[in-house]
């Protein structure tokens, strides 16, 4: 029984990027549907998109199967669904404690770093609070990545958890891009940098990269 997959994505969204890595890693064909997060105040806020994703966030994975279409949101929930539905090649280790370690590192990015560098949050920090959004980002990204480096020390082999790619790597790579974008020097995190380089050699990560997407733009920031 095969499902048709469409990914609602924005090229530079780190959460979309994670899911692109998983799809390419598992060799799953999918249609790319660009959602422009900035143009006209953000296409993610349009009612027709909110029908698919109540929070108005990317990504959304649209799955059509046996005539029924479903919309899955939240990148880590999508990664877990993909792992259950298409278990090979895996994105989680076999050992239960290593699975917990991979999920812990993924969540460190997903819940302790990325939400604070999210576009809507930066708009509030700058627009409503008249705060320094760059200093804000550097504070939270710096805190989170220092902790991630410490976790990586314990668990990393070639990748973040041992020698196989996991969903922790799918979260790390877009986060490293985000760190540079917001002026955080990644050389402070040698283990993370080494893992990022190992991932960059893999075709799945190359195909999932922001700059390789159909809606990629010349970077201005």
Q: Is 203 in the site for a copy of itself (CB under 8 A)?
A: no
Structure tokens at 4: 């048709």
Q: Looking only at residues 102 through 141 of this chain, which bind a copy of itself when binding is defined by CB under 8 A?
A: 103-104, 106-108, 110-112, 114-116, 121, 124-125, 128-129, 131, 136, 139-140
Count the residues of the shown chain that bind a copy of itself, applying the rule CB under 8 A: 46
Minimal distance, residue 30 CB to a copy of itself, in Å: 16
Maximal CA-CA distance, the chain: 53
Q: Is 191 in the site for a copy of itself (CB under 8 A)?
A: no
Minimal distance, residue 55 CB to a copy of itself, in Å: 4
**Cβ atoms of residues 191 and 156 within 8 Å:** yes
Sign of the alpha-carbon dihedral angle for 204, 207, 210, 211: positive
Chain mean position to CA 209: 11
**Cβ atoms of residues 183 and 138 within 8 Å:** yes
Minimal distance, residue 72 CB to a copy of itself, in Å: 5
With 0-12 / 13-18 / 19 or more C-beta atoms within 10 angstroms meaning exposed / middle / buried, residue 127 is: exposed
With 0-12 / 13-18 / 19 or more C-beta atoms within 10 angstroms meaning exposed / middle / buried, residue 122 is: middle
Q: Looking only at residues 49 through 88 of this chain, which bind a copy of itself when binding is defined by CB under 8 A?
A: 54-57, 70, 72-74, 76-78, 80-81, 84-85
Minimal distance, residue 16 CB to a copy of itself, in Å: 14
Structure tokens at 36: 């422009």
Q: Is 204 in the site for a copy of itself (CB under 8 A)?
A: no
Interface residues with a copy of itself (CB under 8 A) are: 54-57, 70, 72-74, 76-78, 80-81, 84-85, 96-97, 99-100, 103-104, 106-108, 110-112, 114-116, 121, 124-125, 128-129, 131, 136, 139-140, 143-144, 146-148, 150-151
């Amino acid at each position: 029984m095969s499902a048709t997959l469409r990914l609602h994505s924005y090229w530079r969204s780190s959460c979309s990027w994670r899911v692109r890595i998983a799809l390419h890693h598992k060799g799953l064909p999918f249609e790319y549907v660009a959602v422009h997060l900035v143009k006209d105040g953000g296409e993610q806020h349009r009612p027709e998109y909110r029908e698919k994703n109540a929070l108005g966030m990317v990504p959304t994975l649209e799955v059509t199967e046996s005539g029924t279409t479903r919309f899955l949101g939240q990148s880590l929930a999508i990664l877990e669904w993909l792992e259950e539905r298409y278990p090979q090649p895996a994105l989680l280790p076999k050992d239960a404690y290593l699975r917990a370690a991979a999920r812990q590192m993924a969540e460190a990015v997903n819940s302790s770093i990325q939400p604070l560098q999210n576009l809507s949050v930066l708009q509030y920090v700058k627009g409503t609070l008249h705060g320094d959004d760059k200093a804000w980002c550097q504070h939270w990204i710096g805190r989170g990545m220092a902790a991630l480096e410490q976790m990586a020390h314990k668990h990393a082999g070639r990748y973040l958890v041992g020698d196989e790619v996991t969903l922790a790597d799918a979260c790390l790579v877009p986060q490293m891009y985000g760190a540079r974008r917001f002026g955080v020097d990644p050389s402070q995190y040698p283990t993370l940098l080494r893992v990022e380089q190992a991932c960059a050699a893999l075709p799945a990560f190359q195909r999932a990269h922001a700059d390789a997407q159909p809606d990629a733009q010349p970077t201005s920031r």
